[in-house]
Amino acid sequence: MIRNPILPGFNPDPSICRVGEDYYIATSTFEWYPGVQIHHSRDLVNWRLVRRPLERKSQLDMRGNPDSCGIWAPCLSYADGLFWLVYTDVKRLDGNFKDAHNYIVTAETIDAEWSDPVYVNSSGFDPSLFHDEDGRKWFVNMQWNHRTESYGGAPKHPAFDGILLQEWDAQTQRLKGPITNIFPGSPLGLVEAPHLFKRNGWYYLTTAEGGTGYDHAVTMARSRFIDGPYEMHPHMHLMTSKDNPEAVLQRAGHGQYVETPQGEAYHTHLCGRPLAPKRRCTLGRETGLQKCVWRDDWLYLAQGGVVPAVEVEAPTDAVPEVKPARVTYAFHGPALPDDFQWLRTPEPERIFSLTQCPGHLRLYGRESIGSWFEQALVARRQEHHSFRAETVLEFQPETYQQVAGLTHYYNRHKFHALVVTLHEKLGRVVTIFTCPGDFPHGRMQFPVGSGEAVADGPVHLALEVRENDLQFFTRSGEGSNWQPIGPVLDAGVISDEGGRGEHGSFTGAFAGMVAFDITGRAKPADFDHFVYEGL
């Protein structure tokens, strides 16, 4: 069986592509660098991260991108002996404008060095590239309407102004021909995430609607002609949990169709698993996969209805691999372990090194935690509702403006951190910084109390998240007992829905290491190892 989610933790907007016996899924990474995660499978059951292709300044520079901007909704395809990756770099979130720039990169193999990007357009986000049977290529994206409702547009959601289609000329690397708005969406509204495919003479268009929250849905339409008109699916939505609040997989939407070599049908989707009592998805938007069937040239979920299932039939008898609950990451260089990413900058050498202090990850303190430009924060995804993280830090601050430690992080206004810094009277201290989701309208708590004095030498730091609760811990050294420090904090705020989440939060929770030095002297902090354990 396939157990959902197949990609737990922050892995939204799954675009799936099959090449022979190999399946690949590309997911959004937003402000986290390098851009786009690509996972690989040969059985649809077991998946492994194999590539983050946007890894150079010439491909991606997100310094200054606000939270939840950056890489939105990549589309991965294969044609003409090449992998094609289409993606958006969003430069603005709040207000009427998005400033969403769409690009294409290519590579002969997934693990090769990908090309520099070719600019396509900026009329809206969620771009997709369709390779037709006659060799022509078609580019689709949603159209963003920045005007207020009084100026027209769809009556319910004027900003989401339909799906645009235009031909892509691979020789000149430019769009050509007329721009056609082929699909206004269903009455649910907020139409986005278009993907085209062709079967039995029909062009099928799958889109996401209802926003990425609890009204999310996969909507399907078909036409005999690529530019329409498109007729709606008999159920309107292929998949949604919006009318089933008891379903385990909520927020179901935004996915893509794929067939096995034997012709079996599957469809990816993003989903969330909320925790009671506040229905906050602390693992962010995850990737699910549903088995489908064809009837009368329409696609339906194999289990019937429209609600995605936790377990679905796999195409083979593959056995799910058991992953270790506890992983210890040793920093022996020269590259970060694959599970880790950092924020925004294409110049990682300015924020960390794995060679300057052998056996350690050295972070160079840069801008403050929550900076949109250059902050030294290296972290991995939270993949369990309950987990523990540990690290050992060597850091000798010379001023209270130099800080380093362990963090549970979502974005600039949703984080908790257990840090080492300097106090004028107490000397070197361990203390807690927290911003529980209300910045900039509320007040960040810097710190929670004055902190506890700590002797010279390595400092052992840990955190435990038990669903909605977070507790920090310290200990004096190897073999000594961990002691709780500070109050129990709200871990549920480190989520899409936490704090100001209703205003747009699209990423997920991370656990990791952070350092900042707002004197500008780039004080280094050395981390001996990092432990992540699902509880």
User: Active-site residue numbers?
Assistant: 374
Q: Is the dihedral of CA 207, 210, 211, 216 positive or negative?
A: negative
H-state helical runs in 384-525: none
Q: Which residues contact 370 (CB under 8 A, 6 or more apart)?
A: 411, 412, 413, 415, 435, 439
Closest CA to 410 of 499, 535, 339: 499
Phi, psi of 151 (to 5 degrees): -90, 5
Residue pair 59/114 in contact (Cβ under 8 Å)? The answer is yes
> CA-CA distance, 446 to 432, in Å (whole number)?
7
The per-residue DSSP string of 25-89 comes to EEE--BTEESB-EEEEESSSS--EEEE--B-STTT---TTPPTT-EEEEEEEEEETTEEEEEEEE
Q: How far from each other are the two terminal CA atoms of the chain, in whole angstroms?
A: 23
Closest CA to 289 of 319, 321, 315, 324: 315
Lookup: tokens for 100: 């969403």
> CA-CA distance, 206 to 222, in Å (whole number)?
9
> CA-CA distance, 318 to 264, in Å (whole number)?
16
Polymer length in residues for the chain: 535
Lookup: tokens for 30: 């937003």
Phi, psi of 252 (to 5 degrees): -70, 125
Burial 13-26, CB ≥16 within 10 A → b, else e? bbbbbbeeeebbbb
Residue 324 amino acid letter? P
> CA-CA distance, 199 to 300, in Å (whole number)?
15
Residue pair 163/143 in contact (Cβ under 8 Å)? The answer is yes
> CA-CA distance, 283 to 139, in Å (whole number)?
32
> CA-CA distance, 390 to 330, in Å (whole number)?
12
Burial class (CB in 10 A: 0-12, 13-18, 19+), 272: buried
Angle at 235 between CA 233 and CA 240, to 5 degrees: 110
Closest CA to 139 of 169, 107, 171: 169
**Count of other CB atoms within 10 angstroms of residue 456:** 9
